[in-house]
Amino acid sequence: MSYTVKSGNLGYPRIGGQREWKKAIEAYWAGKLDEQQLHGQLTEIRLHNLRKQRDQGIEIIPVGDFTYYDHVLDMAAMFGLVPERFSYSGGEVSLDTYYAIARGNKEAPASEMTKWFNTNYHYIVPELGGRKPQLTINRPLVAYREAKEKLGIDGRPVLIGLYSFLKLSKGFNEATEWDHWVEQLLPLYVQVLQELAAEGVAWVQVDEPSLVTSVSAEDITRARAIYETIQRKAPEVSILLQTYFEAVDRYEEVVSLPVAGIGLDFIHGLDGNLAALRKYGFPAGKTLGAGMVDGRNIWRTDLYRQKQLLLEILEVAADSEIIVQPSCSLLHVPVSAKQEQTLVPVLRDALSFAEEKLDEVAALSAAVSTGIDSVKGLFESNRIALDNLAKDPARNRANVAAAVGKIASEPASRGSEFAIRRKKQKEKWHLPLLPTTTIGSFPQTAEVRSARQKWRKGEWSQEQYDSFIKEHIQQWISLQEEIGIDVLVHGEFERTDMVEFFGEKLPGFAFTKGGWVQSYGTRCVKPPVIYGDVDFDQPMTVKETEYAQSLTNKPVKGMLTGPITILNWSFVRSDLSREQVAYQIALALRKEVEALERAGIEMIQVDEPALREGLPLKREDWAGYLDWSVKAFRVTTSTVRDTTQIHTHMCYCEFHDIIDSIRALDADVISIETSRSHGELVHSFEEHTYDLGIGLGVYDIHSPRVPSVEEMTSMIDRALQVLDPELFWINPDCGLKTRGVDETVKSLKNMVLAANQYRAKESLVGTK
């Protein structure tokens, strides 16, 4: 039996195959391109992306998913939701104001940035305040016209749904002001859709990913009210209400919303969505967008298996039109695997990036529409590639499997409780009140990057490169001493990325040549690929840290990336559970911690900025994830002496949600990225006691502005209203790798001045 299905896409990587997008925007920021030139270059990238999707046989192509920085910021700007501190007076938001919201400027700090659900992408959080929203420009309409006029593509405009937009925003009380903001924004959504309908747009993709989180009955009522109004006031346009990243909560109620189609994730939400589909069916006459290809990972699709799944879906939803599509936007994967020719063949052949995933979408659609013979070649090559990968010796290391099998009996707690360790560490280190430190990295200048490239290309010998790194370590140890910082770092000049550096040295990892993905703004990362069993080979950080410590009498922290962050910031093999892979990494890192301690490095920071990022989207699944995440961290850090001080670092998160788990890490000191949301996090400590060492970031490193001493002292004052000064540390909110040298030095001098002013003000100068 044959079926009629269509192939569709939900979004495409913005950055370009060679990161042209990033380079153009950064050139504009640097004054090397004017605004017209920037528009020209980004238009070329945008049109290339659309042509690519059309030429690969994708029938339903999204338009409006492209952005100049962030798609959530685009929605806020479209509605004129510009924070008052940016002196916006209405009308279309200028490019300079747009980028100021994202990055800050000399007059105003940037808006908060946080995770896009449980992905490695970050969005700019909309701030809802006193300003009345207005439609400044119909961005989806502009995108639709461009695609049709320049390429003849009748695209499907994309926008974030009102329900999710409000859930992702801040600055309003959801319990009391939800209806107010719906009243303000819903007419603007209706206007956007009415103008699209007048243009001849048939379908609009409205993304509602918040519907896959834990959704209450009140939330469903809210969503229904929104879509009933839209259906009544803009009936000419058909809406595909698109969900992704998990199974929808309250399936029956979601699929009955008054929209023409529902998009479901049958990869990351497979179990829940498929079970609900089997139990409740699918509404006749509605279109089902079936997410059949993983939009978040880089492995080839098992096409034979997915074809069978698709056939089952087709049987259940026999009276519906089906669109085969990725599980989510392809923004989360690299552009093309074609340039990965240097990888070992067994790995290279198993990769599927955005381009390859579009081929898989088209092949699945064709296999059930016209028969498998037309795409038999791709089906067979996928099967062979995945079989070869499964048999590869790198995935079958007996020693690693045995070690993970014994994890239940491995040490997973420190020898003494914190109070005992703290006393011993106080006697050992003699630090002042409010000790100052940094998070780990210092500016990676063009000179540093150039030196690394020369070494990688073989133009520099290992000796030349080591000498260069030593010079920079020496320079920055001296600078830190001159500034007056209490606990120093070596600066991480030998490291490209905090995960990549360790992955390059651990068996089981591989690295792509062009596997770049957008992390936030123009910050692109090249995640490691965990394709085999992770093992420890030799010390990774001892040489540079030991050298730095030899230059000073002050303590120098050893700097490691924690097992959960390495896991969450990598593309992970899909044949093992994430928990099993986390334990493999933890056991390998433990050996590095022990090597640092043997070398005399007795302050060791194991960063876990991505711990909360990996939280499941449904609250009922949190406990299991947090249990094994905490255990993996403690497996890494539990074998050191009481006098060895374990630090960790986290990015800002809803701290109160996981404070028990953060305390359970049992780190002697935790530093938290909080400067953009400092007051909100401090409020958490008014409700929850935290009795271990802690440093709240006193300035925002993501902004090029140099904060004043007064700004930092106000943050310190606010924090110490609820935190014990005896346990409080002063630090920037994150690493300084992306900042300039001059601004870094000025900011750190102000930070130390702020600490000294507080010590003097309280007459508490001295040692703990």
Question: Is 673 annotated as contributing to ligand binding?
Answer: yes
Rounded CA-CA distance 226/366 in Å is: 36
Question: Is 613 annotated as contributing to ligand binding?
Answer: yes
Rounded CA-CA distance 401/403 in Å is: 6
Question: Is 71 annotated as contributing to ligand binding?
Answer: no
Question: Is 19 annotated as contributing to ligand binding?
Answer: yes
Question: Is 686 annotated as contributing to ligand binding?
Answer: no
* 712 contacts 686 by C-beta, under 8 angstroms: no
Question: Is 321 annotated as contributing to ligand binding?
Answer: no
Backbone angles phi, psi at 697, to 5 degrees: -55, 125
Rounded CA-CA distance 253/263 in Å is: 14
Tokens 């303000």 found at? 184
Question: Is 492 annotated as contributing to ligand binding?
Answer: yes
* CB environment 622-651: b (16+ within 10 A), e (fewer): beebbebbbbbbbbbbbbbebebbbbbbbb
How many other C-beta atoms are found inside a 10 Å radius of the C-beta of residue 153?
Answer: 19
Question: Is 440 annotated as contributing to ligand binding?
Answer: yes
Six token digits for residue 252: 């029956």
Rounded CA-CA distance 723/737 in Å is: 29
Of residues 377, 378, 355, 332, the one with CA closest to residue 55: 355
Backbone angles phi, psi at 320, to 5 degrees: -120, 150
* 314 contacts 294 by C-beta, under 8 angstroms: no
Question: Is 115 annotated as contributing to ligand binding?
Answer: yes
CA atoms within 13 Å, Cβ hemisphere of 764: 15
Question: Is 441 annotated as contributing to ligand binding?
Answer: yes
Question: Is 328 annotated as contributing to ligand binding?
Answer: no
Backbone angles phi, psi at 206, to 5 degrees: -110, 110
Of residues 222, 374, 363, 388, the one with CA closest to residue 303: 363
Question: Is 653 annotated as contributing to ligand binding?
Answer: no
Question: Is 651 annotated as contributing to ligand binding?
Answer: yes
Q: Which of 71, 647, 678, 702 is catalytic?
A: 702
Cα dihedral 344, 347, 352, 355 in deg (nearest 10): 0
Question: Is 759 annotated as contributing to ligand binding?
Answer: no
Question: Is 439 annotated as contributing to ligand binding?
Answer: yes
**688 catalytic residue (yes or no):** no
Question: Is 734 annotated as contributing to ligand binding?
Answer: yes
Question: Is 20 annotated as contributing to ligand binding?
Answer: yes
Rounded CA-CA distance 399/527 in Å is: 26
Which DSSP symbol is given to 300?
P
Question: Is 476 annotated as contributing to ligand binding?
Answer: no
Angle at 416 between CA 413 and CA 422, to 5 degrees: 115
For residue 344, give the 3-state DSSP assignment: coil
Q: Which residues does the annotation place in the binding site for L-methionine?
A: 439-441, 492, 607
Active site residues: 702
Q: Which residues define the annotated binding site?
A: 19-22, 115, 439-441, 492, 523-524, 569, 607, 613, 649, 651, 673, 734
**Which residues are annotated as part of the binding site for 5-methyltetrahydropteroyltri-L-glutamate?**
19-22, 115, 523-524, 569, 613
| Binding site listing for L-homocysteine | 439-441, 492, 607
